[in-house]
Chains A and B, each alone.
Chain A
Amino acid sequence: MSWAEDATQLAVERFGLEVCEHEGPEVGTDRLVAFCRALKDELDFCFFVYVVSVHYPEVPPVEADAEAGVEATPGIPDRTVVNYRVRRLANGDRPTETFAFRTTVPTGGSTPTVSGVWVGADWQEREQYDLVGTVFSDHPDLRRIMMPEDWPGHPLRRDYAIETSHFPWR
């Protein structure tokens, strides 16, 4: 059994999470820190790899139209999906393996920091706050890290307008 399977088992049995085959379990923001602690303390996922926020703009709801054959779909609000990945270093006969999980933060909300669990998350969370605008609550030093302090907006959001007449590819 691999390290990632151990972690998946932990997510399913202890935390009752649903596991997507390719992207790992979706953890609620309220249980994120407890889940991270369990991963680190019990399964030795000590090596911090990354935290990446991905912004998805709002999807408006579609009303049912019987004539056109369109089914009604509920809209999805503007949100940020925060992807985490940690690594279990190689030991003995089991190879090194990474484990990914994620949490969804609606725009205007916040997610707890994991820099208390893995100190390496500190700068990466600052980077994601700076570039994507995800707010990590309880972070010890949540400042902009790449852009100037007075920069307006967060450049890696999908709704951040780029003023350029040149389109490299379309």
Chain B
Amino acid sequence: MNEIESSLPNASLNDGVQWTTVGGVQVPVELLAPAWPDPFLDVEEYDPDGDLMVLNMGPQHPSTHGVLRVKLVLDGEICIKCVPYLGYLHRGVEKLCERLSYVQITPIVDKNDYVSPMTNELAINMAFEALVGAEVPRRARYIRTICAEIQRVGSHLLWLGTFGLDMGGAIGGGGSIFMHTFRERELLLDLFEDLTGCRFHYNTHTVGGNRHDIPAGWADKAVKVLGIIGTRLNEYEDFVRDNHVFRARTVGVGMVDPKLAIELGVSGPVLRASGVDVDLRRDQPYAAYDEIEIAVPTETGGDCFARYLVRVAEMRESIRVATELLGGVPEGPICSLKPVKLPGAVKAKHGRGVYTAIESPRGELGTFVVGNPERRQSAIPYRCKIRSPSMHALQLLPYLCPGNNISDIIVTLGSLDPIMGEVDR
């Protein structure tokens, strides 16, 4: 530990942690809370005189990452009860899925988690492939994995920028970290534009493979861009990690109890920052993840700073994985089915439910699809449910807020990285 680091507020350290088994997995003992706050607290009973103040944060508050309304019951500046209200961005995606055929749904789900469209497409197409019984060629699986990893870097970069904004002027004066991360994200969007022709809503995955093959020279360009981002990440580390204000705002703020998080279904970086070593890419490999070793970064702090550390470590790991895979993309076809000319070309064979899940940048993104057994309708799902990781992360909020300042609530909300498009669907 150098001189600067020892003078900083105490950061989470992985040494000397006591472990215990909860729910079949190892969790740090010190993160287990003796009791959880009651999210259904009766305010009238708690405060019969009516001295408490009710504050509505959102739905148009800049720090709510979209249109989320959080009703806070405040005693001075301390939160007593927190009730999130969702649904401001509900677009009926699941109802739309019951009207569109399997090949038409991909561009719709792009808009679910608008920060990482690639993983959305991958998640829903994997479920359709399981239902339809389509194989994915090896080259397509490699392209999918590379896209998912590059997308993870882009998504976490956006998170880092907006997390800086959440803390106001905490880092380098207002929005400078935001400007830096968006500069890097631009490079990744350029990469995807070269690959698919679109900067944001790609529609590149399809049932049975991909629609766009890697163009000539793309792999070299991608390796170069990932190298640039890897070096810039070191700059951010210098910029943010050892910043006194950043540490003061994040260390010890928003402690997530791993037992509660597992029961709530919270996954991804939030769970890993609480010491639970879980990653579907390694535990339940899909696409080409069974052909590559994935290191899963975990932290034992459980606070906002630990979640920052996990996300930065994940970006480095994603850069390594994507670079490695780009070096060995196998030759072959990119789609096992013939190019689709009619929307009804892909048909389900049975009316059973199928569930597949992937590790999106926010956690376990799953799709449950029930096929329509009727012959005339067999190209349309009977019921399609998207299990969004953001919704489960947001469920932590009523447990994290009570007892905290409003300013800490904003940092906590930012560190959970909810995307409202995915929560409301």
Write the residues of chain A forming the contact surface with B, with a CB cutoff of 8 angstroms. 22-23, 44, 46-50, 52, 54, 83, 85, 88-91, 95-96, 98, 100, 118-120, 122-124, 131, 140-141, 144-148, 155-156, 162, 167-169
Contacts and interface: CB of A to CB of B under 8 A. Distances in A.
Most buried by B among A90, A141, A144, A148: A90
B384 to A, nearest CB: 9
Nearest to B23: A46
A77 to B, nearest CB: 18
B382 A54 contact: yes
Nearest to B278: A89
A48 to B, nearest CB: 4
Given A52-B383, A168-B99, A96 B284 contact: yes
A75 B385 CA distance: 28
Interface in B261-307: 262-267, 276, 278, 280, 283-284
Interface string B201-227: 000000000000000000000000000
Interface string B341-361: 001100000001101010000
Nearest to B352: A22
Contacts, number: 119
Interface residues of B, number: 49
Contact of B94 (A88, A96, A131): A131
Contacts of A155: 92, 95
Nearest to A122: B395
Contacts of B95: 155-156, 162
9 contacts: A47-B23, A47-B265, A47-B267, A49-B366, A49-B387, A90-B278, A120-B266, A144-B87, A147-B87
Interface of B: 22-25, 40, 86-87, 90, 92, 94-95, 98-101, 104, 260, 262-267, 276, 278, 280, 283-284, 343-344, 352-353, 355, 357, 364, 366, 368, 370, 379-380, 382-383, 385, 387, 391-392, 395, 424-425
Contacts of B104: 168-169
Contacts of A169: 99-101, 104, 343-344, 379-380
A155 B93 CA distance: 11
A91 B25 contact: yes
Task: Name A's interface SS.
Answer: loop
B94 A156 contact: yes
Nearest to B86: A145
Contact of B366 (A50, A119, A144, A147): A50
Contact of B355 (A85, A90, A96, A147): A85
B129 to A, nearest CB: 16
B265 A89 contact: no
Contacts of A144: 87
Contacts of A96: 278, 280, 283-284
Contact of A95 (B87, B260, B284): B284
